Structure 1
Amino acid sequence: MKYDIAAKVVVDISKNAILRDFLGIKPKSIKFIRKLPEETVSIRRSDFPLHVTLNDESEIIVIIEIQTRFDNDFVLRLIDYTVRYKLKYHQKVIPLVLLLIPSSLATGIYEDDVLTFKYKFVSFAELQAEDFLDEISLYPFLPLMNDGERLLEKAETIIYENKKLKTRQKADLLSAMAIFAGLKNKELGIWLAERRRDIMIESPVYEFIKKEGFKEGLEKGLEQG
């Protein structure tokens, strides 16, 4: 999907918060799994497979998938990923789906005449943005939550003025926030991209914004600026 690059930088920064807030897991360490077991060019790979070590030294696999469109074909691919990691590592595997756009098809369980498969899912549209103001790494998802558009200016200012974040981290968070804001309200995404382009240019995500995300509106704004 075209939001992959934004999703990648957000998960890299917010993986601890995602596990804690959406799965109730407090990891001791997290490592990205770089290669799908038995991966070939014909096999689609999962978005973000994580090898997680817990405080008691036990290990689990968490597969994070970020989706704009949810359908049964996606669930079948998720089953495939889950089984492959289970066979490879023989550890508990938790599939987690983060829905950028709500879907009535996402229920947490898939059943047919052969399979019953359970997965975790989070629909951002069902969350209250105000509940996540304490976790800056999750700010890019705020525009997708209830009342998130109202809090966008406050959130982006907090990121911009934060003294602990490195410039690249700020750029990544703000750029991803602009893309996800544009998913819900294109004009809002353009507004944020224009407002903070001085720092967002440090992120590779910003190149996507210029080329793909809000091309006509953003180019017009850049010309005027």
Structure 2
Amino acid sequence: MGSYDAAVKVILGHCRQAALEYFLGLQVEGSEILELPQETATFRRSDFPIRVRTSDGRVFVVLLEVQSRWERDLPLRLLEYDARYRLKTGLSVLPAVLLLTPSRAVVERFEDGGLRYAFRVISLAAMDAREVLDKGDPCLFPFVALMKGGS
């Protein structure tokens, strides 16, 4: 699955608008991938930090993480990226995970003490392949094999 993870990142690099619109339901007017300078030797960076401008004029950052499989520490990593991009850009952040394989361990919220953090999980295994094929956007076709009814 690691090679598919890398392939998905390449696809999203070229087809980010289609992905943002289909997977997150956004009406994208424009978008650009952001870079954040490395601050420490252990600094991890988000897969796809994207500044988005929607048709209604909102501007915010979408953090789109591509995950081959669910990892227990993913919510905390996402929170780390979220805080960094909020501080760096001064914009609000929409955090989302594109999950390539099904998992029973998935959560869309992290709570610990006074901390509560919510994010979106887009599970390809739960999506209908026929719907994507009917939409007819070639940018979305590579995801069909991972969707319900797509194999």
Same fold at TM > 0.5: yes
CA distance in 2, matches of 1:85, 1:46: 9
Q: What corresponds to 2:12 in structure 1? A: 11
Determine if the alignment matches structure 1 residue 84 to structure 2 residue 80: no
Determine if the alignment matches structure 1 residue 74 to structure 2 residue 55: no
- Structure 1 unaligned residues grouped into runs of 5+: 150-225
Higher strand content, 1 or 2:
2
Query: Where does structure 1 differ by over 6 angstroms across 4 or more consecutive aligned residues?
Result: none
Q: What corresponds to 2:114 in structure 1? A: 114
Report which structure shows greater RCO (CA 8 Å, sep ≥6): 2
Q: How does the TM-score come out when normalised to structure 2?
A: 0.89
User: 1:76 offset after TM fit, Å?
Assistant: 0.6
User: Conserved in 2, the CA contact under 8 Å of 1:60 and 1:91?
Assistant: yes
The one-letter amino acid paired with 1:107 is V
Q: What corresponds to 1:100 in structure 2? A: 100
Q: How does the TM-score come out when normalised to structure 1?
A: 0.61
User: Conserved in 1, the CA contact under 8 Å of 2:9 and 2:66?
Assistant: no
Q: What corresponds to 2:142 in structure 1? A: 140
Q: What corresponds to 2:54 in structure 1? A: 54
User: Conserved in 1, the CA contact under 8 Å of 2:52 and 2:61?
Assistant: yes
- Secondary structure of the residue aligned to 2:36 is coil
User: 1:35 offset after TM fit, Å?
Assistant: 2.2
User: 1:56 offset after TM fit, Å?
Assistant: 3.6
- Secondary structure of the residue aligned to 1:64 is strand
CA distance in 2, matches of 1:64, 1:123: 13
User: 1:97 offset after TM fit, Å?
Assistant: 0.4
CA displacement, residues 58-106 of structure 1 (integer Å, 9 cap, x when unaligned): 3100011010221331211110000111111121100110111112222
- Secondary structure of the residue aligned to 1:72 is coil
Larger Rg: 1
CA distance in 1, matches of 2:58, 2:147: 33
Map 1:1-225 onto structure 2 (within 5 A).
2-3=2-3, 4-36=5-37, 39-133=39-133, 134-149=136-151
User: 1:40 offset after TM fit, Å?
Assistant: 2.9
Q: How many residues are paired up?
A: 148
- Structure 2 unaligned residues grouped into runs of 5+: none
CA distance in 1, matches of 2:68, 2:114: 27
User: 1:141 offset after TM fit, Å?
Assistant: 1.0
Higher helix content, 1 or 2:
1
User: Conserved in 1, the CA contact under 8 Å of 2:52 and 2:59?
Assistant: yes
User: 1:14 offset after TM fit, Å?
Assistant: 2.2
The one-letter amino acid paired with 1:135 is D
User: 1:146 offset after TM fit, Å?
Assistant: 1.1
The one-letter amino acid paired with 2:122 is V
CA distance in 1, matches of 2:101, 2:86: 29
Q: What corresponds to 1:163 in structure 2? A: none
